[in-house]
Amino acid sequence: MSEPAKDVAHELSAEELAAIEEKYDEGSATRKVAPSAGILLRAVAIVFAIYHYITAGFGLPADHWHMGWHLSGLFILTYAFFPLFKTKSSLALKTDGLRLGGIPFLDIILMILGVASALYIGLAWRGVPMLGIEEQTFRMGNPNNFDMFFGVVIIVLVLDIARRTLGWVLPAIISLFIIYALFGPYFSGLMQHPGVKFRTFVSSMYFPQEGIFGVTLWVVSTIVFHFVLFGVIAQRTGLGQLFIDNATILAGRYTGGPAKVSVVSSAFFGTISGSSVANTVSTGALTIPNMKRLGYPGHFAGGVEAASSAGGQITPPIMGAAAFIMAEFLQLPYTTIVIAAIFPAVLHYVGVFTVVHLMARKLDLKGLTKEQLPLLGNVWREGWANIIPLIGLLWVLFSGYTPFMSAFCGISLAVVAGMSRLREPPTLIYAVAFGAFVIWKFTGGSFEPLTAFILLAGTAVATLNPQKRVLLPEMSQSIETGVKYALAVGAASAAVGIVVGVINTTGIGFRIGFMVTQGAGNLASDFYALLSFGEYALFAVEDLQLFLSLVFIAIACILMGAGIPTTALYIMLVSVAQPALAQLGVPPIASHLFVLYYGVVAEITPPVCTSAYAAAAIANSPPFKTGISAFTLGLGKIVAPMAFVYAPVLLFVSSTGFDLWTFTYSATSCIMGVVSLSAAVVGFWLAPMGVFSRILCAFAGLVFIAPSLSADFLALAIVSPVIALQLRARTRAAIANA
């Protein structure tokens, strides 16, 4: 049922949209501080961003120093902006005697301890003879008292900043891993292990290579932060609006136009944004009111936007933070991950688009009128320069340079496109500076001639941008926003490093993986007995075991994903899923993407589905009902992982190899499965469907997903009666209308 008419045309102001993002994105709601403290913290945030920007282009310091500086920034900004317990009153400005600039003295003390513990490793790396501290190499596994003090401090504080930015769920799970590491002898059965001594545990969690200063924090501090910053700056300079306008031109005129605009614009926006909530608020502010005006129910309009926006984390080339960590885990080029993710992302958006189209047909909703559509010429005449940063970033990324170099070039071009204008010569300083950098890299042999030419040409052309110039205060605010977005991801990466350290120290990943495969194997044997008829069996035991293992892991991903960021969830679960799936012969890249995709599904799965709740606030619709709509709209993302585990050829770059014929029929089968499932969800294809037809469609859709010709023929046999009934119903409707 549609919401009251008085809500249909309501559009939210920028302030209301910001409030929605703060409410549903844990990392956006921050404490108000005094003006003087605000100026100082803004300076810290800008210095933090500039440090990462410069090191991306000119070279990273030693890992322990680089990650130490990154953690220091996280501690300062997190303890300044996030209160001990997040309540409405704690976020308000208070200036009593127990605070400095609105920040409690307790948080200032914790801030200082956090910075000291983050920088201690670098300061004591070569030893401090006057304090009796040996070189770090001689202290591995045998930490001194200074190591123990700062090690315990950083473990506690990392858990605390994760709790402040993300809530209790993630620190609680990490605490269970810590308990398991320390009290291994007290566990029974397969989970029992000798235990890790407290000093050894602190040393493993604190010193680089494992634990907090491990691969997760390294990837976030050297790659992820830069792409988050690029997304915010590119959106501020006009790339986000360019995406929305072009999506409106492409899809707005067709049946259910505004809803299709939501899908297309969210797909475009997902290429530069790794945040589902930010994507929902940015594109939903326009698309949700338009959908409601057209006649879509509010909960469905919100669900469309949430499901589309959640796809941003699986949409190449950015794909959120987890994809960069995946590249490090698999020791593969990031471009390989991007290529592998192309078809699964397409499958997700095909599913959402199909449901939107069928719902529009069912409700007889029309598209936007010609007068309501932006003019293609006007859109590109004004906004063409905003695409240059994305082109530059992708060119550098796919030319084999490091991801952080590509982000550096993308950010630089975004700044040039936003702030440099040929008609205002003083502003060309940004373009000249980046041009000088490119020439320096070229003359030093770092940039190939074609790459240097493209970047220099892009820099020159970007200065011709006809749009209004972004002023320095506006750019500073965008940079500050980008840093705030990155705080929660940084805190999660540092905290989850503890989980990685525990898994490497205790071998719990292999233990749980063995338990999963054993449990699935036992159940598979029972099902095999039920599904076999003499010598004939519908499925082999191995096939049933793999399917049940995938179901168990998918359920774990969705359940654990309640309130945990996709990146943190991916790191925890892949450590368990990879050993289990490897035992069953699943290629590594398929198992990693399987876990990542179900981690993203958790974002649109009730009862905790932050993207859907943010969309519900914009649509003024029931949150839980909006979450259900988002979940059903995301069916493509739910079935896609099963498909590419059974048919790794869909990932293009799997170790099983690529065969065009196998890919063609597997991809066609998956798309038919998603379309069939979508028709079952909506209850409409060519005409309204009855319950029996919907059940047959849903079952056929699931069989279609199994990538084999025999399964496809079986699915066609199942859905044939539905097709016949639908053709007959459409013919009758056409005769009646005639």
- Helices 709-737 and 660-682 pack at an angle, to 10 degrees, of 40
For residue 649, how many other CB atoms are within 10 A of its CB? 23
pLDDT at 18 over 70: no
Place 9 in a pLDDT band, splitting at 50, 70 and 90.
very low
pLDDT of residue 24: 56
Give 601-632 pLDDT, tens digit per residue.
Answer: 777 777 667 778 788 888 888 888 888 888 87
Helix/strand/coil (H/E/C) assignment for every residue in 675-687: HHHHHHHHCECCC
pLDDT score at 561: 63
* Residue 306: pLDDT band with limits 50, 70, 90: confident
pLDDT grade, residue 160 (50/70/90)? very high
Q: How far is CA 713 from the centre of its chain?
A: 36
What percentage of residues in the chain have a pLDDT greater than 70? Answer: 91
- Whether 5 shows a pLDDT value over 50: the answer reads no
Q: Which amino acid is at 77?
A: L
| Lowest mean pLDDT segment, chosen from 12-21, 98-107, 287-296, 419-428 | 12-21
CB atoms within 10 A of CB 89: 8
Q: Write out the E strands in 446-537.
A: 532-533, 536-537
* 211 contact partners, CB below 8 Å, separation of at least 6: 204, 205, 497, 498, 500, 501
For residue 126, the Cα-to-chain-centroid distance in whole angstroms is 38
Q: Half-sphere exposure of 469 toward its Cβ, with a 13 Å CA cutoff?
A: 17
Distance CA 563, CA 259 (A): 27
pLDDT mean over 412-418: 95
CA 515 → CA 189, 194, 560, 577, 582, distances in Å? 11, 19, 18, 11, 14
Q: Specify the length of the chain in residues.
A: 738
> What one-character-per-residue DSSP string does 288-344 give?
HHHHHHHT--HHHHHHHHHHHHHGGGGSTTT-TTHHHHHHHHHT--HHHHHHHTHHH
CA torsion angle 210 216 222 227 (round to 10): 180
Identify residue 146 by its one-letter amino acid code.
F
- Predicted confidence at residue 1, as pLDDT, reads 39
Per DSSP, the residues of 596-628 read: HHHHHHGGGSTTS-HHHHHHHHHHT--HHHHHH
Give the confidence band of 307 by pLDDT, cuts at 50, 70, 90.
confident
Residue 29 DSSP SS3 = coil
Distance CA 128, CA 687 (A): 79
Report the candidate in 558, 477, 478 with the shortest Cα–Cα distance to residue 230. Answer: 478
Summarize the confidence of residues 154-174 as an average pLDDT.
90
The confidence band for 8, taking pLDDT boundaries of 50, 70 and 90, is very low
Q: Which residue shows structure tokens 């409409």? A: 684
Residue 691: alpha-carbon gap to chain centroid? 36
**Contact between 139 and 127 (Cβ < 8 Å):** no
Residue 20 is predicted with a pLDDT of: 63
- Give the tokens for residue 696: 């047959």
User: Nearest Cα to 490, choosing from 191, 179, 114?
Assistant: 114
pLDDT value at 2 more than 50: no
CA distances from 4 to 29, 300, 362, 538, 619 (A): 30, 14, 21, 52, 11
The CA distances from residue 727 to 35, 356, 618, 730, 734, in Å, are 68, 21, 39, 5, 11
Say how far apart CA 667 and CA 636 lie, in whole Å.
12
Question: What is the tens place of the pLDDT at every residue in 547-605?
Answer: 888 888 888 777 766 667 777 778 777 777 777 787 778 888 888 888 888 877 777 77
Q: What percent of the chain clears pLDDT 90, i.e. is strictly above it?
A: 24
pLDDT on residue 316:
78
Burial 558-567, CB ≥16 within 10 A → b, else e: bebbbbbbbb
Give the amino acid at 219: V
**284 vs 723, residue with greater confidence:** 723
Q: Which of 54, 55, 73 is nearest to 63 (CA)?
A: 55
- pLDDT at residue 76, rounded to an integer: 96
pLDDT in tens, 433-448: 999 999 999 999 999 9
What letter represents residue 629's amino acid? S
Asked whether the predicted pLDDT for residue 289 surpasses 60, the reply is yes
CA dist 347 to 288, 550, 553, 561, Å?
23, 19, 21, 22
Least confident range of 262-271, 443-452, 690-699: 262-271
Tokens, residue 9: 């045309």
Collapsing DSSP to helix, strand or coil, 207 comes out as coil
Distances (CA, A) of 598 to 574, 613, 638, 639: 11, 19, 7, 10
Whether pLDDT at 27 is above 60: no
Helix H or strand E encompassing 99: strand 99-100
566-583 vs 472-506: helix crossing angle, rounded to 10: 30
Would you state the pLDDT for residue 7?
Answer: 45
Whether 591 contacts 570, CB under 8 Å? no
Which of these, 120, 139, 140, lies nearest to 68 by C-alpha position?
120
**pLDDT reported for residue 270:** 66
Residue 323 in contact with residue 595, Cβ under 8 Å? no
Helix (H) or strand (E) holding 46: helix 35-58
Separation between Cα atoms, residue 680 and residue 363, nearest integer Å: 16
**Tokens at 282, concatenated:** 């940015």
Separation of alpha carbons 734 and 676, rounded Å? 23
Mean pLDDT, range 243-254, rounded to an integer: 82
Q: Is the pLDDT of residue 115 over 90?
A: yes
Least confident of 81-90, 204-213, 221-230, 434-443: 81-90
Q: Which of 19-23, 78-82, 331-335, 566-570 has the highest mean pLDDT?
A: 78-82
CA–CA separation, 7 vs 294, rounded Å?
A: 13
pTM for this entry: 0.84
Of the candidate ranges 10-24, 86-100, 527-541, 623-637, the one whose mean pLDDT is the lowest: 10-24
